[in-house]
């Protein structure tokens, strides 16, 4: 079974440019979380709340650093997840596209 979280919009301090360190910016998170369904479900509300908490309580330099940190924490807090893909996108950095990074574990 795979749960989907799409277009989770948050405000976060993430980036290495001076203006990114001073003011929160919009980010969009998408995720796919696979687990073996055996009558017990994986609660997507808990995953969304976890992601919100992490971005409210942490600041990251690079998207890659955020994804590595979240990888370790997801593996620890959600042991039933056997595979996941998580992306973080910055919709306001460039005028002609949306940039981001993704991890698949």
pLDDT in tens, 16-66: 888 888 889 999 999 999 999 999 899 999 999 999 999 999 999 999 999
CB 85 within 8 A of CB 102: yes
pLDDT score for 41: 92
Residue ranges covered by each domain of the chain: 2-104
CATH fold, domain 2-104, is: GTP Cyclohydrolase I, domain 2 (3.30.1130)
Distance (Å, rounded) from C-alpha 105 to C-alpha 103?
7
Cα dihedral sign, 39-40-43-44:
negative
- pLDDT tens across 67-101, in order? 999 999 999 999 999 999 999 999 998 999 999 99
């Amino acid at each position: 079974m795979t749960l989907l979280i799409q277009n989770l919009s948050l405000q976060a301090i993430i980036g290495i440019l001076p203006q990114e360190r001073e003011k929160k910016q919009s980010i969009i998170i998408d995720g796919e979380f696979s687990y073996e369904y055996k009558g017990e479900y994986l609660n997507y509300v808990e995953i969304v709340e976890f992601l919100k908490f992490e971005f409210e309580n942490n600041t990251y330099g690079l998207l890659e650093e955020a994804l590595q940190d979240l990888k370790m924490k997801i593996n620890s807090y959600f042991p039933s997840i056997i595979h996941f893909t998580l992306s973080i996108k910055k919709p306001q950095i460039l005028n002609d596209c949306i940039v981001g990074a993704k991890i698949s574990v």
